[in-house]
């Protein structure tokens, strides 16, 4: 086989590969579930929440102190004093705070 034949063979291969990928990629996209429109929580920025500890030590409370919500997505919440996003299943609403705490930050970290 000379160089010209190899180039033609390569071009045909690439065309067939592209056709195959184009054909089946749409089928894969169509089979994926649509993203949910439903929120997994009802927290809003400014709310105070309790964050459940991943590994509470014996005798320690399961939830931390009231912490202010900074940002939200459909499934997670970003709270003040924590660098990572927290999945909504680890969060519950904080009981009403005294008015002295609502005027200042409940948690300073």
65-95 pLDDT, tens per residue? Answer: 999 999 999 889 999 999 999 999 999 999 9
**Global pTM value:** 0.58
Instruction: Provide the pLDDT confidence category of residue 22 given band limits of 50, 70 and 90.
Output: confident
Please tell me the predicted confidence (pLDDT) of residue 30: 87
φ/ψ of residue 44, rounded to 5: -125, 155
With beta carbons less than 8 A apart as the criterion, state whether 93 and 83 touch: no
Average pLDDT over residues 39-60: 89
Structure tokens, 42: 């009802």
As a three-state string, the secondary structure of 22-50 is HHHHHHHHHHCCCCCCCCCCCCCCCCEEE
Residue 58 pLDDT > 90: no
66: which DSSP letter?
-
Please tell me the predicted confidence (pLDDT) of residue 91: 95
Please tell me the predicted confidence (pLDDT) of residue 105: 52
């Amino acid at each position: 086989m000379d160089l010209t034949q190899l180039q033609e063979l390569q071009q045909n291969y690439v065309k067939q590969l592209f056709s195959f990928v184009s054909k089946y990629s749409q089928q894969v996209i169509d089979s994926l579930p649509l993203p949910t429109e439903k929120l997994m929580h009802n927290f809003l920025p400014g709310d105070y929440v309790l964050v459940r500890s991943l590994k509470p030590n014996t005798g320690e409370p399961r939830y931390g102190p009231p912490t202010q919500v900074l940002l939200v997505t459909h499934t997670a919440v970003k709270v003040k004093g924590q660098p990572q996003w927290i999945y909504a299943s680890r969060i519950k609403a904080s009981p009403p705070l005294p008015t002295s705490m609502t005027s200042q930050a409940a948690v300073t970290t």
